[in-house]
Protein backbone atom coordinates (compact mmCIF):
# COMPACT_ATOMS: atom_id res chain seq x y z
CA UNK A 1 0.00 0.00 0.00
CA UNK A 2 2.80 2.39 0.93
CA UNK A 3 4.54 1.56 -2.35
CA UNK A 4 1.38 2.35 -4.33
CA UNK A 5 0.91 5.68 -2.57
CA UNK A 6 4.56 6.58 -3.16
CA UNK A 7 4.21 5.75 -6.86
CA UNK A 8 1.03 7.83 -7.17
CA UNK A 9 2.75 10.78 -5.52
CA UNK A 10 5.72 10.38 -7.86
CA UNK A 11 3.41 10.41 -10.90
CA UNK A 12 1.55 13.39 -9.44
CA UNK A 13 4.80 15.33 -9.40
CA UNK A 14 5.33 14.44 -13.09
CA UNK A 15 1.80 15.49 -14.10
CA UNK A 16 1.69 18.63 -11.95
CA UNK A 17 3.47 20.93 -14.49
CA UNK A 18 1.08 19.82 -17.25
CA UNK A 19 -2.02 20.63 -15.21
CA UNK A 20 -0.35 23.81 -13.97
CA UNK A 21 -0.08 25.02 -17.57
CA UNK A 22 -3.79 24.28 -18.07
CA UNK A 23 -4.60 26.20 -14.89
CA UNK A 24 -2.42 29.11 -16.06
CA UNK A 25 -4.33 29.31 -19.35
CA UNK A 26 -7.65 29.15 -17.50
CA UNK A 27 -6.61 31.92 -15.10
CA UNK A 28 -5.25 34.10 -17.91
CA UNK A 29 -8.54 33.94 -19.81
CA UNK A 30 -10.78 34.36 -16.75
CA UNK A 31 -8.86 37.42 -15.49
CA UNK A 32 -8.65 39.07 -18.90
CA UNK A 33 -4.86 38.87 -19.11
CA UNK A 34 -5.43 36.83 -22.25
CA UNK A 35 -8.16 38.41 -24.41
CA UNK A 36 -10.83 35.95 -25.49
CA UNK A 37 -10.31 37.13 -29.08
CA UNK A 38 -6.73 35.82 -28.94
CA UNK A 39 -7.73 32.24 -28.04
CA UNK A 40 -8.66 31.19 -31.62
CA UNK A 41 -5.21 32.31 -32.75
CA UNK A 42 -3.54 30.13 -30.11
CA UNK A 43 -5.80 27.25 -31.10
CA UNK A 44 -4.93 27.72 -34.77
CA UNK A 45 -1.20 27.79 -34.02
CA UNK A 46 -1.41 24.48 -32.16
CA UNK A 47 -3.82 22.81 -34.60
CA UNK A 48 -2.28 23.92 -37.90
CA UNK A 49 1.42 24.31 -37.08
CA UNK A 50 2.83 22.94 -33.82
CA UNK A 51 0.83 19.73 -33.30
CA UNK A 52 1.08 18.51 -36.93
CA UNK A 53 4.87 18.98 -36.74
CA UNK A 54 4.98 16.97 -33.51
CA UNK A 55 2.87 14.18 -35.03
CA UNK A 56 4.97 14.13 -38.20
CA UNK A 57 8.18 13.81 -36.21
CA UNK A 58 6.84 10.97 -34.08
CA UNK A 59 5.41 9.20 -37.12
CA UNK A 60 8.59 9.60 -39.16
CA UNK A 61 10.71 8.39 -36.24
CA UNK A 62 8.64 5.28 -35.49
CA UNK A 63 8.95 1.96 -37.34
CA UNK A 64 6.13 1.65 -39.84
CA UNK A 65 4.93 -1.65 -38.34
CA UNK A 66 4.21 0.15 -35.05
CA UNK A 67 2.05 2.69 -36.86
CA UNK A 68 0.08 -0.14 -38.46
CA UNK A 69 -0.53 -2.05 -35.22
CA UNK A 70 -3.82 -3.85 -35.91
CA UNK A 71 -4.14 -4.99 -32.29
CA UNK A 72 -4.14 -1.43 -30.98
CA UNK A 73 -6.59 -0.29 -33.66
CA UNK A 74 -8.94 -3.23 -32.97
CA UNK A 75 -9.04 -2.84 -29.19
CA UNK A 76 -9.29 0.95 -29.29
CA UNK A 77 -11.93 0.94 -32.02
CA UNK A 78 -14.20 -1.61 -30.34
CA UNK A 79 -13.99 0.23 -27.02
CA UNK A 80 -14.68 3.60 -28.64
CA UNK A 81 -17.82 2.20 -30.27
CA UNK A 82 -18.88 0.64 -26.96
CA UNK A 83 -18.44 3.96 -25.11
CA UNK A 84 -20.45 5.79 -27.79
CA UNK A 85 -23.24 3.20 -27.61
CA UNK A 86 -23.33 3.24 -23.79
CA UNK A 87 -23.37 7.04 -23.50
CA UNK A 88 -25.99 7.53 -26.22
CA UNK A 89 -28.17 4.83 -24.65
CA UNK A 90 -28.05 6.44 -21.20
CA UNK A 91 -28.76 9.89 -22.62
CA UNK A 92 -31.72 8.71 -24.67
CA UNK A 93 -33.21 6.98 -21.61
CA UNK A 94 -33.07 10.37 -19.84
CA UNK A 95 -35.00 11.99 -22.68
CA UNK A 96 -32.01 13.80 -24.20
CA UNK A 97 -32.28 14.42 -27.96
CA UNK A 98 -30.00 12.80 -30.51
CA UNK A 99 -27.92 15.93 -31.04
CA UNK A 100 -26.96 16.37 -27.38
CA UNK A 101 -26.74 12.61 -26.82
CA UNK A 102 -24.31 12.21 -29.72
CA UNK A 103 -21.98 14.98 -28.60
CA UNK A 104 -22.16 13.70 -25.02
CA UNK A 105 -20.99 10.37 -26.44
CA UNK A 106 -18.18 12.06 -28.36
CA UNK A 107 -16.96 13.90 -25.26
CA UNK A 108 -16.99 10.57 -23.38
CA UNK A 109 -15.12 8.61 -26.07
CA UNK A 110 -12.66 11.23 -27.37
CA UNK A 111 -9.71 11.85 -25.00
CA UNK A 112 -7.52 14.93 -25.16
CA UNK A 113 -4.74 12.90 -26.76
CA UNK A 114 -3.30 15.47 -29.13
CA UNK A 115 -3.13 18.52 -26.88
CA UNK A 116 -2.44 16.72 -23.59
CA UNK A 117 -1.80 13.01 -24.03
CA UNK A 118 1.22 13.13 -26.32
CA UNK A 119 3.43 15.32 -24.12
CA UNK A 120 2.18 13.82 -20.85
CA UNK A 121 2.48 10.12 -21.72
CA UNK A 122 5.80 10.55 -23.49
CA UNK A 123 7.10 12.18 -20.29
CA UNK A 124 5.86 9.18 -18.28
CA UNK A 125 6.32 6.20 -20.64
CA UNK A 126 8.95 7.42 -23.08
CA UNK A 127 8.93 7.89 -26.85
CA UNK A 128 7.67 4.33 -27.49
CA UNK A 129 4.21 5.47 -26.33
CA UNK A 130 3.86 7.77 -29.36
CA UNK A 131 2.94 5.08 -31.91
CA UNK A 132 -0.12 3.67 -30.05
CA UNK A 133 -1.30 7.22 -29.35
CA UNK A 134 -1.02 8.17 -33.02
CA UNK A 135 -3.26 5.22 -33.88
CA UNK A 136 -5.89 6.32 -31.34
CA UNK A 137 -5.78 9.91 -32.61
CA UNK A 138 -6.31 8.78 -36.20
CA UNK A 139 -9.24 6.53 -35.22
CA UNK A 140 -10.98 9.20 -33.14
CA UNK A 141 -10.48 11.98 -35.69
CA UNK A 142 -11.74 9.92 -38.62
CA UNK A 143 -14.23 7.37 -37.30
CA UNK A 144 -15.43 8.25 -33.79
CA UNK A 145 -16.06 11.90 -34.66
CA UNK A 146 -17.79 11.04 -37.93
CA UNK A 147 -20.05 8.48 -36.25
CA UNK A 148 -21.14 10.90 -33.53
CA UNK A 149 -21.75 13.72 -36.01
CA UNK A 150 -23.93 11.38 -38.06
CA UNK A 151 -25.87 10.32 -34.93
CA UNK A 152 -26.37 13.97 -34.00
CA UNK A 153 -28.46 14.48 -37.16
CA UNK A 154 -31.05 11.82 -36.27
CA UNK A 155 -33.38 14.27 -34.53
CA UNK A 156 -35.02 14.83 -37.92
CA UNK A 157 -35.10 18.63 -37.74
CA UNK A 158 -33.40 18.78 -41.10
CA UNK A 159 -34.56 16.48 -43.89
CA UNK A 160 -31.04 16.50 -45.31
CA UNK A 161 -29.41 16.17 -41.90
CA UNK A 162 -27.58 12.83 -42.27
CA UNK A 163 -26.22 13.51 -45.76
CA UNK A 164 -25.24 17.05 -44.84
CA UNK A 165 -23.56 15.80 -41.65
CA UNK A 166 -21.64 13.20 -43.65
CA UNK A 167 -20.36 15.88 -46.03
CA UNK A 168 -19.42 18.16 -43.14
CA UNK A 169 -17.63 15.32 -41.35
CA UNK A 170 -15.69 14.41 -44.49
CA UNK A 171 -14.80 18.05 -45.09
CA UNK A 172 -13.63 18.37 -41.50
CA UNK A 173 -11.38 15.32 -41.86
CA UNK A 174 -9.88 16.63 -45.10
CA UNK A 175 -9.29 20.11 -43.65
CA UNK A 176 -7.83 18.83 -40.37
CA UNK A 177 -4.03 18.83 -40.66
CA UNK A 178 -3.47 16.19 -37.97
CA UNK A 179 -4.52 13.14 -40.03
CA UNK A 180 -2.38 14.41 -42.90
CA UNK A 181 0.59 14.83 -40.56
CA UNK A 182 0.12 11.23 -39.38
CA UNK A 183 -0.08 9.96 -42.98
CA UNK A 184 2.97 11.94 -44.09
CA UNK A 185 4.93 10.85 -41.03
CA UNK A 186 4.07 7.21 -41.71
CA UNK A 187 5.07 7.61 -45.35
CA UNK A 188 8.39 9.16 -44.32
CA UNK A 189 8.97 6.24 -41.97
CA UNK A 190 8.16 3.65 -44.63
CA UNK A 191 10.36 5.36 -47.26
CA UNK A 192 13.06 6.28 -44.71
CA UNK A 193 12.81 9.83 -45.97
CA UNK A 194 14.82 12.55 -44.23
CA UNK A 195 13.91 16.21 -44.40
CA UNK A 196 16.51 18.75 -45.47
CA UNK A 197 18.37 19.81 -42.30
CA UNK A 198 17.03 23.43 -42.09
CA UNK A 199 13.48 22.18 -42.69
CA UNK A 200 13.95 19.44 -40.09
CA UNK A 201 15.08 22.01 -37.56
CA UNK A 202 12.08 24.24 -38.31
CA UNK A 203 9.71 21.30 -37.91
CA UNK A 204 11.46 20.36 -34.66
CA UNK A 205 11.10 23.87 -33.25
CA UNK A 206 7.39 23.97 -34.07
CA UNK A 207 6.90 20.48 -32.62
CA UNK A 208 8.68 21.44 -29.41
CA UNK A 209 6.30 24.39 -29.01
CA UNK A 210 3.23 22.16 -29.24
CA UNK A 211 3.18 20.87 -25.65
CA UNK A 212 3.27 24.11 -23.60
CA UNK A 213 1.10 26.12 -25.97
CA UNK A 214 -1.47 23.30 -26.32
CA UNK A 215 -1.80 22.85 -22.57
CA UNK A 216 -2.10 26.61 -22.00
CA UNK A 217 -4.71 26.76 -24.77
CA UNK A 218 -6.78 23.97 -23.18
CA UNK A 219 -7.20 26.09 -20.05
CA UNK A 220 -8.02 29.20 -22.06
CA UNK A 221 -10.65 27.35 -24.12
CA UNK A 222 -12.27 25.96 -20.97
CA UNK A 223 -12.38 29.44 -19.42
CA UNK A 224 -13.85 30.95 -22.57
CA UNK A 225 -16.57 28.28 -22.70
CA UNK A 226 -17.50 28.99 -19.07
CA UNK A 227 -17.56 32.76 -19.64
CA UNK A 228 -19.65 32.53 -22.81
CA UNK A 229 -22.12 30.18 -21.14
CA UNK A 230 -22.50 32.62 -18.24
CA UNK A 231 -23.00 35.56 -20.62
CA UNK A 232 -25.58 33.58 -22.57
CA UNK A 233 -27.58 32.84 -19.43
CA UNK A 234 -27.36 36.47 -18.31
CA UNK A 235 -28.53 37.81 -21.68
CA UNK A 236 -31.40 35.33 -21.70
CA UNK A 237 -32.54 36.55 -18.27
CA UNK A 238 -32.35 40.20 -19.40
CA UNK A 239 -34.31 39.46 -22.56
CA UNK A 240 -36.93 37.62 -20.54
CA UNK A 241 -37.26 40.52 -18.09
CA UNK A 242 -37.51 43.22 -20.79
CA UNK A 243 -39.48 41.34 -23.41
CA UNK A 244 -43.17 41.70 -23.99
CA UNK A 245 -45.67 38.91 -24.24
CA UNK A 246 -44.72 35.38 -23.34
CA UNK A 247 -41.24 35.30 -21.84
CA UNK A 248 -38.58 33.34 -23.68
CA UNK A 249 -37.61 30.21 -21.80
CA UNK A 250 -34.26 30.36 -20.02
CA UNK A 251 -31.63 27.94 -21.22
CA UNK A 252 -32.01 24.57 -19.55
CA UNK A 253 -29.32 23.77 -17.02
CA UNK A 254 -27.62 20.38 -17.42
CA UNK A 255 -28.51 18.01 -14.61
CA UNK A 256 -25.56 17.19 -12.33
CA UNK A 257 -26.38 13.48 -12.58
CA UNK A 258 -26.11 13.66 -16.38
CA UNK A 259 -22.76 15.47 -16.23
CA UNK A 260 -21.43 13.10 -13.59
CA UNK A 261 -22.44 9.99 -15.53
CA UNK A 262 -20.65 11.15 -18.71
CA UNK A 263 -17.56 12.20 -16.73
CA UNK A 264 -17.51 8.81 -14.97
CA UNK A 265 -17.74 6.99 -18.29
CA UNK A 266 -14.81 9.02 -19.59
CA UNK A 267 -12.46 8.71 -16.62
CA UNK A 268 -13.47 5.32 -15.17
CA UNK A 269 -15.45 3.13 -17.57
CA UNK A 270 -13.40 3.95 -20.67
CA UNK A 271 -9.97 2.96 -19.28
CA UNK A 272 -11.40 -0.12 -17.56
CA UNK A 273 -13.07 -1.17 -20.80
CA UNK A 274 -9.85 -0.71 -22.79
CA UNK A 275 -7.89 -2.68 -20.20
CA UNK A 276 -10.40 -5.55 -20.16
CA UNK A 277 -10.69 -5.66 -23.94
CA UNK A 278 -6.90 -5.56 -24.31
CA UNK A 279 -6.38 -8.41 -21.88
CA UNK A 280 -9.08 -10.45 -23.62
CA UNK A 281 -7.53 -9.77 -27.01
CA UNK A 282 -4.10 -10.86 -25.78
CA UNK A 283 -5.60 -14.04 -24.32
CA UNK A 284 -7.19 -14.78 -27.71
CA UNK A 285 -3.86 -14.40 -29.47
CA UNK A 286 -4.30 -10.91 -30.91
CA UNK A 287 -0.83 -9.36 -31.29
CA UNK A 288 -0.84 -6.56 -28.72
CA UNK A 289 2.30 -5.60 -26.84
CA UNK A 290 1.88 -5.03 -23.08
CA UNK A 291 3.55 -1.61 -23.42
CA UNK A 292 1.03 -0.64 -26.12
CA UNK A 293 -1.84 -1.75 -23.89
CA UNK A 294 -0.52 0.39 -21.03
CA UNK A 295 -0.31 3.37 -23.38
CA UNK A 296 -3.87 3.11 -24.71
CA UNK A 297 -5.33 2.46 -21.24
CA UNK A 298 -3.74 5.71 -20.07
CA UNK A 299 -4.98 7.49 -23.20
CA UNK A 300 -8.49 6.37 -22.24
CA UNK A 301 -7.91 7.76 -18.72
CA UNK A 302 -7.23 11.25 -20.10
CA UNK A 303 -9.88 13.98 -19.79
CA UNK A 304 -12.19 14.82 -22.66
CA UNK A 305 -10.89 16.57 -25.77
CA UNK A 306 -11.45 20.32 -25.64
CA UNK A 307 -12.22 20.58 -29.38
CA UNK A 308 -15.51 18.69 -28.86
CA UNK A 309 -16.98 21.92 -27.46
CA UNK A 310 -16.20 23.65 -30.75
CA UNK A 311 -17.87 20.85 -32.72
CA UNK A 312 -20.92 20.93 -30.44
CA UNK A 313 -21.28 24.66 -30.98
CA UNK A 314 -20.99 24.25 -34.76
CA UNK A 315 -23.74 21.61 -34.87
CA UNK A 316 -26.12 23.38 -32.49
CA UNK A 317 -25.76 21.06 -29.50
CA UNK A 318 -25.81 22.22 -25.87
CA UNK A 319 -22.30 23.64 -25.76
CA UNK A 320 -22.62 24.59 -22.08
CA UNK A 321 -23.21 20.93 -21.18
CA UNK A 322 -20.20 19.79 -23.21
CA UNK A 323 -17.95 22.52 -21.80
CA UNK A 324 -18.90 21.53 -18.24
CA UNK A 325 -18.10 17.87 -18.90
CA UNK A 326 -14.70 18.84 -20.34
CA UNK A 327 -14.02 21.08 -17.35
CA UNK A 328 -15.10 18.43 -14.85
CA UNK A 329 -13.02 15.68 -16.45
CA UNK A 330 -9.97 17.94 -16.73
CA UNK A 331 -10.17 18.96 -13.07
CA UNK A 332 -10.88 15.41 -11.87
CA UNK A 333 -8.07 13.95 -14.00
CA UNK A 334 -5.53 15.85 -11.91
CA UNK A 335 -6.33 13.33 -9.16
CA UNK A 336 -7.58 10.31 -11.14
CA UNK A 337 -4.82 10.13 -13.77
CA UNK A 338 -1.92 9.50 -11.32
CA UNK A 339 -3.96 6.68 -9.78
CA UNK A 340 -4.57 5.24 -13.26
CA UNK A 341 -0.82 5.32 -13.96
CA UNK A 342 -0.07 3.63 -10.62
CA UNK A 343 -2.79 1.01 -11.15
CA UNK A 344 -1.90 0.07 -14.71
CA UNK A 345 1.78 -0.07 -13.79
CA UNK A 346 1.08 -2.76 -11.20
CA UNK A 347 -1.16 -5.00 -13.35
Domain ranges of the chain: 2-233+254-346
The list of the chain residues with pLDDT below 70 reads 1-5, 156-170, 172-173, 229, 231-254, 346-347
How many residues make up the chain in this entry?
347
- Each residue of 286-345: pLDDT tens digit? 999 999 999 999 999 999 987 787 778 777 888 778 888 998 999 999 989 998 988 887
What's the CATH fold of domain 2-233+254-346?
A: Na+/H+ antiporter like fold (1.20.1530)
d(CA 217, CA 323): 14
**Cα angle at 77 between 73 and 78, to 5 degrees?**
125
Looking at residue 269, the DSSP 8-state letter turns out to be I
d(CA 192, CA 152): 42
SS3 111: strand
- How far is CA 167 from each of CA 170, 174, 183, rounded to the nearest angstrom? 5, 11, 21
d(CA 207, CA 8): 29
pLDDT of residue 93: 92
d(CA 21, CA 16): 9
Percent of the chain predicted with pLDDT > 70: 86
pLDDT of residue 258: 87
Residue 193 CB: number of other CB atoms within 10 A? 11
Instruction: Check if the beta carbon of residue 173 is closer than 8 Å to that of residue 214.
Output: no
Amino acid sequence: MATTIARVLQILLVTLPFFALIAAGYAAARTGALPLAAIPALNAFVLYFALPCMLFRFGAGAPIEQLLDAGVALVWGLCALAVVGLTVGLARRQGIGWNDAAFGALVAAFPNTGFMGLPLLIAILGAQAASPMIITIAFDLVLTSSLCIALSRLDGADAHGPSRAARQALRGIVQNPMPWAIVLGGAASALRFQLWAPVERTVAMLGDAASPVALFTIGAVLARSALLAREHRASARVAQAMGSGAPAPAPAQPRPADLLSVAAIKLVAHPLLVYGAGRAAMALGVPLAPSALVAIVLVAALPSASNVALLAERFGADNGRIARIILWTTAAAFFSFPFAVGWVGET
